[in-house]
Structure 1
Amino acid sequence: MDEQDVRYDFDHHSAEFAADPWRVYRDLRQRCPVAHSTTYDGGFWVLSAYRDVRRATLDTAVFSSDLDDLLIPEENPGRLLPVQSDPPLATAYRAVINPLFTSAAVRRLEPSIRRCVDAAIDAFAAVGSAELIVDLAMPVPGAVTMCLVGWPESEWLDVVHPIREFSTHPSGSRERAAAAVALAGLRERVTDNVRHRVTEPDGDLASLLVAGSVRGRPLTEAEMVDIMMMVLFGGVDTTVAAIGNMVLYLDEDRELRRQLIQDPRLISGAVEELLRYQAPVQGFARLVTEDTEIGGQRITQGEKVFLAWAAANRDPEVFTDPDDVRLDRGRNPHLAFGIGSHRCIGATLAKLELRIVLERLLARIPDYRVDRKSVHPTPSCGTTFGSRRIPVTFTPTDVG
């Protein structure tokens, strides 16, 4: 394949892409699964086939995450660890915070998650209408994440708003620039929290980090702040988007909704399949550390590649009927949370939140209907695929 064959005008921040990214990914996989785009940063490669995305994600020596920015184009909202590092250091960072995300630790959070979900639904259940992004998708992961880090739950919007604004507006927009300023303020709050816990540990995330070490040395202040910012980002953005995607899809597929209402045991499998079908995080960049070949294309040391996990999740070579939601998939090796040493450390927690949200939503307002004409997609889904507004109506129900 010559150079002309691999050129593809891939702009994941454009409104056209946000309107139907799945069509773009399908075209990429069919025409040039390893494509080159000159849209940003002097050019970058896009991997869209499952086999190539999986291989590059696992080969951390050649496809490195140790770079200043995992986004394309580079905007550097602040370093996040361990996602912007490579093993063995990335593995050591993960070990410090792993106690928060073990299966046992996540199970202990379940009562708090249920309380947060029911509190959110209580606020609109008797009204007969709601806007499910603002009223449900944002406050639940926001409050749960605040609980996880040890901050007041009531202040969740201070964290969720700047993260959402940054991830859902296109590069170069005023909204994204304003959000970057707000994120710098959030980083200052994290820094103050870490410094305070050096002298007054209190069992929260900052205290865990202060007591932590990597490879025989204490964490630096910068490392502690970078890890805590990662927990905040990871706890909020993916889950907010996924909740919106799922409730929107279940308005379209009423038969699947009926099945889940009749048998809530199916909800866990539905969560996995809906994450595959509409991966909330589209992908991240990697830096190529040496000349290499992948998918039949030569890529040069120093170039960037965009690993399109969302595209890989609909690869027909791996998933039968990839553009359909099927609960009868046996094995479902989707990449919505990544894979290998950089698989999302909070995946178990996120899936529990999603399951509980669907369980309680379908139990309490099972007949919700989306006002499709008033649904607002995100202006950009280059970072996160989701909606900004999902207005619904339903039969009012009693609170509690």
Structure 2
Amino acid sequence: PGLVNALLQLRIEGEPAPDLEILGNLGLIIGGGFDTTTALTAHSLEWLSDHPDQRELLSRERDTLLNPATEEFLRFFTPAPGDGRTFSEDVEVEGTRFKEGERLWISWAMANRDPAVFDSPAELIMDRKGNRHFSFGIGVHRCVGSNVARTVFKSMLTAVLERMPDYACDPEGTEHYETIGVIQGMKHLPATFTPSKALGPGLDETLKNLQRICDDQELARPITERKEAAVID
């Protein structure tokens, strides 16, 4: 049971969802957590590197500060800054008229900096209270993976703070995305740190274990042994 099974079992007026719709949703579910969560982590680590006093505070009071800090990082950096929508009919919103077929950019990032909602919106306050940000969207299309994203982000951030407490990002080598569309992220975030004691198996042993699993489960076998049958009409 899970999201994939739910999509496969979904019925619309008694009929299963079209294959392309299922594939599109699977791509969104599988890929949605990569760029967004890594982008949030990168921006947060960069900010903590630039504010070592706040990094020390977060490390020292992680039990009580990590949760509100996570929500504030989400609000402040908004890794998915917005999305586009197409008007299905002529409509007037707050005195502005839109025609059917016109496009509108809905900016979660702008909503997250609304001074009517957030005190000192341009300031990152790790212990901000009542942080009702829009980083996961709102309504029926709210991000289905929001809790997974929070969990993964906290795990990555905690691992860095524990294993590389003195890390320092290199601003000269840092490269942000040239444009901000669906994702606000980074291409490169180089950093230096003092290596901690190794835990668990090394890279060579890990790769051998992965190869053994692939061999045992025949994960590298072709999807079909009859290529002539692998035709999509």
Task: List aligned pairs for 1:42-191, cutoff 5 A.
Answer: 99-100=2-3
Partner of 2:92: 293
Instruction: Give the TM-score normalised by structure 2.
Output: 0.79
- Give the aligned residue type for 1:261: S
Among 171, 174, 184, which residue is 1:385 paired with?
Answer: 184
Aligned residues: 198
Shift of 1:355: 0.8
1:259 and 2:67 are equivalent in the alignment: no
Equivalent of 1:231, from 10, 26, 29? 29
* Deviations 1:145-174, CA, capped at 9 Å, x for gaps: xxxxxxxxxxxxxxxxxxxxxxxxxxxxxx
220-229 or 293-302: bigger deviation: 293-302
Q: Deviations over 1:166-216 (max 9, x none)?
A: xxxxxxxxxxxxxxxxxxxxxxxxxxxxxxxxxxxxxxx3x5543443443
- Give distance in 2, aligned partners of 1:273 and 1:258: 17
Which of 82, 101, 122 is the aligned partner of 1:323? 122
8 Å CA contact retained: 2:115, 2:121 = yes
Tell me whether 1:220 sits opposite 2:18 in the alignment.
Answer: yes
- Report the TM-score, using the length of structure 1 for normalisation: 0.47
* 1:331-346 alignment, distance < 5 Å: 331-346=130-145
List per-residue Cα deviations over 1:308-331 (Å, max 9, x = no partner): 111111111111100101133221
Match of 2:36, SS? helix
Superposed CA RMSD in Å reads 1.7
In 1, Cα distance between equivalents of 2:26 and 2:133 = 27
Question: 1:241 maps to which residue?
Answer: 39
Moved over 3 A (4+): 207-212
> Which residue is equivalent to 1:361?
160
- Offset, 1:295: 3.8
Distance in 2 separating the partners of 1:363 and 1:250: 14
Question: How far off is 1:252 after superposition?
Answer: 1.3
Structure 2: stretches of 5+ with no match in the other structure: 200-233
Q: Residue by residue, what CA displacement relative to the aligned partner does 1:341-376 show, whole Å, maximum 9, x if unpaired?
A: 000000000011011111111011111001111101
Preserved CA contact (<8 Å) 1:291 1:300: yes
The residue type paired with residue 185 of structure 2 is: G
Mapped partners of 1:277, 1:331: distance in 2: 14
Letter in 2 for 1:343: R
Taking a change above 3 Å as real, the CA distance of residues 288 and 209 of structure 1, as seen in their structure-2 partners, is closer
What is the aligned counterpart of 1:272 among 46, 59, 71?
71
Aligned equivalents of 1:312 and 1:211: distance in 2?
A: 36
Counterpart of 1:310?
109
- Which has the larger Rg? 2
Q: Is the 8 A contact 2:86 2:101 kept in 1?
A: yes
1:91 aligned partner: none
Identity %: 34
Answer yes or no: is the 8 Å Cα contact 2:69–2:127 preserved in 1: no
* Cα pair 1:267 1:358 within 8 Å, conserved: no
Q: Secondary structure at the match of 2:178?
A: coil
CA apart distance, 1:336: 0.6
